[in-house]
């Protein structure tokens, strides 16, 4: 069963800024889609940091998120453009 992925407003804004400023915006689109796919299927594929916080890296993006097992949700709190 899939996980529902929810992006915070700040993560969504960071993603939009990455798309607008990256010299190869198609790379950002690919990374966004891949992150969404991975988090939907297996959010535990990322790297566990601490205190319930996970990180997933798909260049040129990196996202921080939390997994809520009971409701099968992933909450993306931050997105970073790592190519800058």
> pTM of this prediction?
0.93
> Residue range 65-83: average pLDDT?
96
Residue 49 phi, psi dihedral angles, 5° rounding: -95, -70
- Would you state the pLDDT for residue 84? 53
DSSP state of 44: G
Rg of the Cα trace of the chain? 12
CATH for 34: 3.30.2310.20
C-alpha dihedral sign at 5, 55, 31, 39: negative
- Could you give the number of structural domains in the chain? 1
- Would you state the pLDDT for residue 63? 98
Region of residue 64 (left: phi > 0; alpha: psi -120 to 50; beta: else) = beta
Structure tokens that stand for 47 in this block:
């790297």
Host domain of residue 22: 4-81
């Amino acid at each position: 069963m899939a996980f529902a992925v929810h992006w915070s407003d700040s993560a969504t804004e960071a993603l939009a800024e990455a798309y607008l400023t990256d010299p190869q915006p198609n790379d950002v689109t690919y990374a966004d889609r891949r992150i969404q796919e991975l988090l939907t299927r297996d959010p535990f594929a990322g790297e566990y940091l601490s205190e319930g916080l996970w990180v997933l890296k798909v260049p040129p993006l990196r996202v921080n998120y939390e997994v809520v097992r009971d409701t099968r949700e992933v909450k993306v709190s931050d997105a970073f453009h790592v190519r800058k």
